[in-house]
């Protein structure tokens, strides 16, 4: 299977455009030694696009995106951060 996607370019003024698929659902669960990300198809596609955006833009070490219940995660989710090393 071949999939083509458009990756938003980083803008020094506006930052990185975060793209969410319509009807996405993502829940993060902290289970002690394990951290589970549970998502529907649209949620997984959204996360994949964001990871690719971080990987393919010429971003600085330490660039990160916060994922929180207040902004994008399902109610009761644990917060997490994805950061470029």
- Measure the CA–CA gap between 38 and 67, rounded to whole angstroms: 13
* Residues 6 or more apart in contact with residue 38 via CB below 8 angstroms: 26, 27, 28, 29
Residue 41 phi, psi (nearest 5)? -55, -45
pLDDT in tens, 3-48: 999 999 999 999 999 999 999 999 999 999 999 999 999 999 999 9
Give the pLDDT confidence score for residue 24 in this predicted structure.
98
List the chain domain ranges: 1-85
For the entire predicted model, the pTM comes to 0.92
Q: Which among 52, 54, 73, 51 is positioned nearest to 63, based on CA atoms?
A: 54
């Amino acid at each position: 299977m071949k999939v083509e996607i458009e990756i938003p370019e980083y803008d020094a003024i506006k930052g990185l455009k975060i793209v969410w698929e319509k009807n996405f659902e993502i829940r993060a669960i902290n289970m002690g030694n394990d951290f589970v990300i549970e998502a529907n198809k649209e949620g997984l596609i959204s996360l994949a696009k964001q990871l690719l955006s971080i990987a393919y833009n010429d971003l600085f070490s330490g660039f990160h995106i916060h994922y929180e219940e207040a902004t994008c995660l399902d109610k009761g989710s644990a917060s997490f951060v994805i950061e470029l090393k």
